Amino acid sequence: MKNNRKYGTGKRKDAVARVWLSPGEGNVIINGKPMADYVGRKSLELLINQPFVAVDALGKYDVWATAKGGGISGQAGAVRHGISIALVQMDEEAYKTTLRRGGFLTRDPRVKERKKYGRKKARRGFQFSKR
């Protein structure tokens, strides 16, 4: 099993996921928990499985991932990105063009903007008082 494993690092927002892919029956383990228990939302489970659906490989690979930083949604997006990169490592000529066209290999660059001094949030100023 260890010889046939492939690795991919996924990132989204402030979350980073390290993902290992190996041939199996479709088990997804994130931070030691099954995917359904870890993410807790059906929409995020569908998001994580999107790369497998795109290349018609649902249930062919086992996923073992560790996710850090951000929230559950960002971590799910990071796992999805990591799965896509690991799938390309598995079989580049079969999967790369499909995943590239689907936008799965592109890292989502949107991150939270930092708070500026003299403001309440990143862009929101304090409420103006005439008197």
Q: How confident is the model at residue 4 (pLDDT cuts 50, 70, 90)?
A: confident
Report the pLDDT value the prediction gives residue 2, as an integer from 0 to 100. Answer: 58
The CATH number of 2-102 is 3.30.230.10
What DSSP line would sit under 106-127, residue for residue? S-B---PPPPPTTSSSSS--PP
Q: What is the mean pLDDT of residues 31-45?
A: 95
Q: What is the mean pLDDT of residues 81-103?
A: 93
Report the pLDDT value the prediction gives residue 131, as an integer from 0 to 100. Answer: 83
Report the pLDDT value the prediction gives residue 43, as an integer from 0 to 100. Answer: 95
Structure tokens at 122: 């990143």
In the predicted structure, residue 1 carries a pLDDT above the cut 70: no
Contact 22, 4 (CB under 8 A): yes
Which residues 6+ apart lie within 8 Å of 13 measured at CB?
A: 70, 71, 73, 74, 77, 78, 108, 110, 111, 112
